[in-house]
Chains A and B, each alone.
Chain A
Amino acid sequence: GAGVSQSPSNKVTEKGKDVELRCDPISGHTALYWYRQSLGQGLEFLIYFQGNSAPDKSGLPSDRFSAERTGGSVSTLTIQRTQQEDSAVYLCASRKTGNNEKLFFGSGTQLSVL
C-alpha cells in the first residue's frame, strides 16, 4: 500500500481481555517497529523486526506483550490480560534497510482499557 496501515484505529476493551493490533507495513520495507505513546510521554520502543533475524524484544514491558511478523510483512501485536496502564496509542513504523533510512509511521491504534 501507499503507507503503513494499522487496524483498528480505536479499540476499547475491558480489563483482563486480550487484544490484537495489526500493522501492514509499506511493501518492500524490511524493518518493522512497534512503539507505544502514552499521554505526555515520548514514544516508547516495544519490539523490532528486521528481515529474517530474530526480533529485538528488549522493549516489551511484560510477558503479557508479544508480537509476530508473518512472511516478512504483516505484524500483529498481542496484549494478554490487558491492564488499565496498557491504555495508550500503539504506533507501528517501517523502513528500508540503511542507516539513514527514515521511519514511516502508521496512524496508530488508540487502546483504551476500562
Chain B
Amino acid sequence: GQNIDQPTEMTATEGAIVQINCTYQTSGFNGLFWYQQHAGEAPTFLSYNVLDGLEEKGRFSSFLSRSKGYSYLLLKELQMKDSASYLCAVRNSGNTPLVFGKGTRLSVIA
C-alpha cells in the first residue's frame, strides 16, 4: 500500500520559522514534491527532492531522507500570506501519478 502522513494543522507566528514534516511508505520512490495551496485556489509547486539532503529556495527549504521515508518543508521569516495548505506528494516511478498526502493547513498569526 501507499501512505503519506503529515500533520493536519499547524499554527506559527509571523516572522518565525516553521517545519512541516511528511513521512511516506510507498511501493517505490522517484521523487518527492511539496505544493502550496491557498484556500479556493490551485496547488502551486514549491520544491522537488529526489536525492537525500536539503534544497534551499529563498525562504523555503525542503529536506529528504530516503532511508527514513521522511521529508520536511522549512519556512523561514513567516509572512501572513504563507497561511495555506502545504501538500506533500510522492512519485513512485517514472511518470506515474503523484500520490498526495492530505495536506497541512498552516495558519500564520500576528
Residues of A near any B CB (own CB < 8 A): 4, 31, 33, 35, 40-43, 45, 48, 50, 56, 59, 91, 97, 99-100, 102-108
Q: Which residues from 7 to 47 on chain B have a C-beta closer than 8 Å to any C-beta of chain A?
A: 30-31, 33, 35, 41-45
B1 in the interface, Cβ–Cβ < 8 Å?
no
Can you list 12 A-B contacts (CB < 8 A)?
A: A4-B42, A33-B97, A45-B97, A48-B96, A48-B97, A99-B50, A99-B95, A100-B31, A100-B48, A102-B48, A105-B44, A106-B42
Pairwise interchain contact A42-B50, C-beta atoms closer than 8 A: no
Choice from B41, B44, B102 contacting A42 with Cβ under 8 Å: B102
CB B68 to nearest CB in A, in angstroms, measures: 21
**Contact (Cβ within 8 A) A103 B102:** no
Q: Which of A40, A100, A103 contacts B98 (CB 8 A)?
A: A103
Contact A99 B42, beta carbon cutoff 8 Å: no
Q: B31 near A99 (CB under 8 angstroms)?
A: yes
Asked if A102 contacts B33 (CB within 8 A), the reply is yes
Contact between B45 and A103 (Cβ–Cβ < 8 Å)? yes
Known: A42-B101, A42-B102, A43-B100. A102 touches B50 (CB 8 A): no
User: What are the nearest 3 A-B pairs in CB distance?
Assistant: A105-B42, A42-B102, A43-B100
